[in-house]
């Protein structure tokens, strides 16, 4: 039987357990990697508008809300993961600060929740696609278009996209206005930041 334990690491809901994905089709981030990532994000999270795309059961967005983000947009359309995501949001009583979009994540860049009145306010976008989507071909091209769309339509001037991918895959997207920021490696997994704005 598939079992996985997930929790909020720190903040208002630190230590609270989360319902995990109902199947092995998703790959939740480990506590160690999540702690390291949020240590690196630091003060970027408080007061931020964040996007959790390919959200699964919401681990990244809910961690942000626990640490003081003002609003999180979750994108997930797998029925099982979506059910657990909604239950996790309800268990933490953060419905008023959460928006769940049961749509294809590749369509979110133009969604009114990000490209409407709040266009240009997205501080952090967590992009965690199936690994096969990062490795080449039409799916990687779709991923690059998503990232470019977020950069143009939604991302704040100093915002960043946190892309999770296999260590063996290079992130060499040529997207105007985005540069490689930090690269955080955890075994066979890497998180690459694509940061909006000029080189520091």
Instruction: Give the pairing of strands 17-18 and 6-7.
Output: antiparallel
Number of separate domains in the chain = 1
30 secondary structure, DSSP code: P
What CATH number corresponds to the domain at position 188?
3.40.50.150
Q: Domain range for residue 191?
A: 6-196
Specify the pTM.
0.93
Instruction: Give the pairing of strands 71-75 and 122-127.
Output: unpaired
Please give the backbone phi and psi of residue 34, each rounded to the nearest 5 degrees, phi first. Answer: -65, -40
pLDDT in tens, 85-144: 999 999 999 999 999 999 999 999 988 888 776 778 999 999 999 989 998 889 999 999
pLDDT in tens, 159-188: 999 999 999 999 888 898 999 999 999 999
- Residue 1: inside a domain: no
**What is the pLDDT, as a whole number, of residue 3?**
47
- Residue 60: inside a domain: yes
- Residue 95: inside a domain: yes
- Residue 21: inside a domain: yes
**What is the pLDDT, as a whole number, of residue 110?**
86
């Amino acid at each position: 039987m598939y079992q996985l334990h997930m929790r909020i690491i720190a903040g208002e809901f630190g230590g609270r357990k989360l319902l995990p994905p109902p199947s092995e089709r998703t790959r939740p981030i480990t506590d160690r990697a999540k702690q390291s990532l949020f240590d690196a994000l630091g003060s970027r999270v408080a007061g931020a508008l964040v996007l959790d795309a390919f959200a699964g059961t919401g681990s990244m967005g809910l961690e942000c809300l626990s640490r003081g983000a003002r609003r999180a947009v979750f994108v997930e359309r797998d029925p099982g993961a979506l059910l657990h995501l909604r239950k996790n949001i309800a268990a933490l009583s953060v419905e008023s600060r959460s928006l769940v979009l049961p749509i294809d994540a590749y369509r979110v860049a133009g969604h009114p929740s990000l490209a409407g009145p709040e266009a240009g306010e997205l501080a952090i976008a967590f992009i965690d696609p199936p690994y096969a989507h990062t490795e080449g071909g039409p799916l990687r091209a779709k991923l690059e278009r998503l990232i470019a769309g977020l950069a143009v339509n939604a991302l704040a001037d100093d915002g960043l996209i946190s892309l999770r991918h296999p260590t063996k895959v290079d992130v060499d997207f040529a997207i105007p206005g985005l540069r490689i920021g930090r690269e955080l490696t955890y075994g066979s997994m890497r998180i690459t930041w694509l940061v909006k704005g000029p080189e520091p």
